[in-house]
Amino acid sequence: PVAAVVCAVVLVLNVLFVLILFKELRISTFDPQMATAQGIPAWWLQYAVMGLTALTLVAAFESVGSILVIAMLIVPAATASLLTDRLGVLLTISLIVAAAAATGGHVAAITVPSILFSRLGYPMVQDASTSGMMAVVAGLLFVATLLVAPRYGILGRMLSRWRLGVRIVREDLLGFVFRAEEGGLRGVSTPDIQATFPRSTFRLRLALRQLERGGLVRQSPIGIALTDSGRSEARELVRSHRLWESYMALHFQVPDDHLHSTAERVEHYIDGEFRRELAYELDQPAVDPHGQSIPVESPKADPESNAEGAQKQQGPE
């Protein structure tokens, strides 16, 4: 058919255009000023993309109509963008989604109506519009990806938030037991833990199980106590907390009774390098604004100390 020949020619033009000018298209799309500075005519490429898109739309309009054109122009790229941030991979996934929608839509247009409507008492309905079913399949692929995509999908985000919540409870537990040991206790009883975390019962149980399985806490006659590795990790967390309180007190006009709640949230996102930067800027403080001592950095979290220790063990060459 003439429509198939026209679409095939347009497909070849699109593929050649992208393959030949992929690097230039990528640079001019994301940073036109940089492309122009490198001698790439960004404005020409933009108009070329617009012209090729218009040509593709006209060819597709004559073949399948407006519904499929809009669906296949938007949905494959939107679906691929939920799965990757890399342009080359995104283009590949877009092609796979478009091919799957085209094949699945054509098969569904032939088979689904006869099966569905025969059960509803309309045996005369044997098929449906191929373009419409292709749009439906493309939409279903998008919805499925929106649900299950690892990073941007709804379920993936829910799972990430859940894991983050459990990690925060786990770290809060370590900090709670560490502060109790600072006060002279040899552990924390289970009722005290439950009273401190009343709204996180299930997460609390899961966090305790993970801490025990990871060898960070152990059962003691009193209740829960830290192991050596758990104490080391808790020390880093409390150090992050108190360094951030000191930083806030130095740079912001924040009442002392507001420092703790802010640091309690931020401490979970401070890594070893950030702690060293804070300590350097604050001139290695020994106490926080509340007068509590700031724990020293754990050896495993301080690569500079580890390197110096290893050099001392090796001795001079």
Query: What's the pLDDT tens digit per position in 150-208?
Result: 889 999 999 999 999 999 999 999 999 999 988 888 889 888 888 888 776 888 889 99
Q: Please give the Cα distance from 72 to 60 (Å, whole number).
A: 10
Q: Which residues contact 25 (CB under 8 A, 6 or more apart)?
A: 18, 45, 49
Task: Give pLDDT tens digits for 213-264.
Answer: 999 999 888 889 999 999 999 999 999 999 999 999 999 888 888 898 899 9
Relative orientation angle of helices 42-64 and 2-20, to the nearest 10 degrees = 160
Token pair of 73, please?
A: 């122009």
Which residue spans within the chain are E strands per DSSP? Answer: 217-219, 224-226
Please state the rounded mean pLDDT for residues 137-156: 94
Give the C-alpha separation, 71 to 80, whole Å: 14
DSSP string, 233-254: HHHHHHHHHHHHHHHHHHHS--
Does residue 259 contact residue 246 with C-beta atoms inside 8 Å? Answer: no
pTM: 0.71
DSSP state of 222: S
